A and B are shown apart, each in its own frame.
Chain A
Amino acid sequence: MTTATLSQPKPRRRQRHWGTYAVWIVMFLMAIVFLMPVYVMVANGLKDAQSVSLQRMWIPPAQLSTDNGFAGAWARLQPNMMNSLLMVIPATILSSFIGAINGYLFAKWKFRGSDIVFTLMLFGFFIPYQSILLPLVRTLQILGVYGTIPGLILVHVIYGIPITTLIFRNYFAGVPTELMDAARVDGAGLITTFTRVMLPLSIPAFVVVGIFQFTNIWNDFLFGVTVVPNPAAQPVTIALNNLSGTFSVEWNVVMAGAVLAALPTAIIYILLGRFFIRGILAGSVKG
């Protein structure tokens, strides 16, 4: 027994060492596979109309000309990128604030049946939106916002309420109630407690919710394609899909367009990845 344990460390350490290399190599190969579609997008987007061909998909662009796919894609998608921005910024801000108030109330001011009300609200996050599209379109037509950016903002704010409420509720549940009590002893009411105590504490939750909503709303396709039939008013995801289905367009333009449509969320991800991951964990309900 003793000799066995004494002689064990040596081979074991070497094994771990080999294991480390193996794990690293596997991760490296996986990373290449994961980046492959990104390479296809960028490399082919940078080619000009003459050098882009199906046979040279995997070959990097020979030279960078000003005539690359990005020039064409920007010219076509720029108005739709603007539409997306005009939609996503107000929708993100509004749904974050509504979520903050709701989350505070559901976490700190529970009333009889509040958990059931909250769960019924949360169900709205999971439903297939196909099951509400028809009455939604009718309602937007009646309200006079069908086919417009304000209409899309309204849609994203309302259907964003469940998830923003959930994330803030989980966040505020972790804030000690004693902090509230101190303010209440000083005579602060329900709303003052929120604005003076809870709101200043909730910056991290705002960042998480903001990123989550920005990504979700920017990446949306279904609402954009059904609520806005006019191509000039459509968000960029729908414009990209139209571009991709147009046979007269060279596919270097399509690939460059995909990069452009991905850019805002990709930048946010690269800069604020930490908060992005927290949003994912918070959005998985039990996180």
Chain B
Amino acid sequence: MTATTDPAALRARPLDRRRWHLSEQAQTILLLLPSILALAVFIYVFISFTFWVSLSNWRTLKIDLTLREPLFATYVEMFAMARWQADLRNTFVFTIFFIAFAVTLGLTLAILLDRHLAGHNVFRNIFLFPYALSFVVTGVVWRWIFNPETGLNLLFEVLGINYLLAQAGMAPLKPGWITDPTVVAEVNGILAAVLPGVDAWQVKWGIPLAMIPVAIAATWQLSGFVMALYVGGMATISDEVREAARIDGASEFQVYRKVIIPMLRPVTISVVVILLHVSLKIFDLVYTMAGVGPGFATDVPAIFVFEQMFKATRYNLGSAAAIIMLVLVALVIVPYLASTLREDS
């Protein structure tokens, strides 16, 4: 070993000095320690505390951390509440509509932009713009657009759609939007035939119509984000792939359907996972746009938690709902993070 010429030995030279200092591994851990400790407390200890509260008797302003008997009584009580049942239904319906709308629209926009026509940068910037705004701004504006007395209904009137409908002998198009308490496509009867205990449900399982405008507003805000992810994915697909497909006789439509979209599968998975966790957590948009709605038609778990914890001071109930939210998000995110971790190593 001729120490001076061997690069490995050169690299090892500072070792002698390092004896006086901490090893570099110790330095790494020491530098990371504040962040690790902060997050250990602010995430994991805090979640454990919330979980404990959800099992406790703390249901007034006076703190009471004794455990409630039987242990999961608050959860049982919560799942029997009409409001909580409506919240679960609403989240489910919102998630389906929102993801279907946002993925379809986002992918369509990405494909349109993919042709790189004149001005495509301007269009891309317009489509992504809503993503830069806060949900509160969005909620405040869409609340007026979906106000039955003005907004879209007024636009239908002005554009003569209602006039045409009247000519055809049909009722005017005047939906109640976020103020509509109707639940359509009720499936309680069907579910009761399959699942036991459905008779105990206090809400109609179906599609609360008021949730659809909320899904539209969320789509407006986030389909540009979906588009951006797809545009990023398409940029990694080389032109040769498309050319090869065209030479094989594929039409433009087929190139996307048979080649590009299947190749974008990893992007689609990321998109769905991200949108899913957004929709399970959705709060600001619904809270500012529609509130709890008529008959809890637009209430969601996040609003439930907020109101139980900070308005009704039912701390154990709010905590139980928060833990259920966390479990739902974890069911989506943990497998996703685990697969990312596996890919890395």
Contacts and interface: CB of A to CB of B under 8 A. Distances in A.
A54 B150 contact: yes
B223 to A, nearest CB: 9
B145 interface: yes
Contact of A266 (B109, B132, B143, B284): B132
Contact of A30 (B32, B109, B280, B287): B109
Contacts of A270: 125
B302 A265 contact: no
A118 B49 CA distance: 23
B140 A258 contact: yes
Given A40-B144, A126-B277, A134-B53, A269 B340 contact: no
Contact of A135 (B49, B126, B139): B49
Interface residues of A, number: 92
Given A131-B325, A185-B11, A119 B151 contact: no
Interface residues of B, number: 108
B28 A109 contact: yes
Interface in B168-183: none
> Which one of B45, B53, B128, B144 has the highest number of Cβ atoms from chain A below 10 Å of its Cβ?
B144
A58 B155 contact: yes
A206 B36 CA distance: 21
A131 B136 contact: no
Nearest to A121: B39
Contacts, number: 272
B62 interface: no
A126 B49 CA distance: 18
21 contacts: A24-B118, A27-B120, A31-B123, A37-B142, A57-B151, A98-B35, A111-B29, A127-B330, A128-B302, A130-B306, A133-B50, A133-B309, A139-B42, A161-B39, A165-B35, A187-B13, A189-B27, A221-B136, A225-B306, A244-B140, A255-B141
Interface of B: 7, 10-11, 13-14, 17-18, 21, 24-25, 27-29, 31-32, 35-36, 38-39, 42-47, 49-50, 53, 109, 112-113, 115, 117-120, 123, 125-145, 147, 149-151, 154-155, 158, 220, 224-225, 228-229, 232, 252, 266, 270, 274, 277, 280-281, 283-284, 287-288, 301-302, 305-306, 309-310, 315, 318-319, 321-323, 325-326, 329-330, 333-334, 336-338, 340-341, 343-345
Interface of A: 19-20, 23-24, 26-27, 30-31, 34-38, 40-41, 54-55, 57-58, 98, 101-102, 105-106, 109, 111, 115-117, 119-124, 126-128, 130-136, 139, 158-159, 161-162, 165, 181, 184-185, 187, 189-191, 215, 218-222, 225-226, 237-238, 240-241, 244, 251, 254-255, 257-258, 261-262, 265-266, 268-270, 273, 276-277, 280-281, 284-287
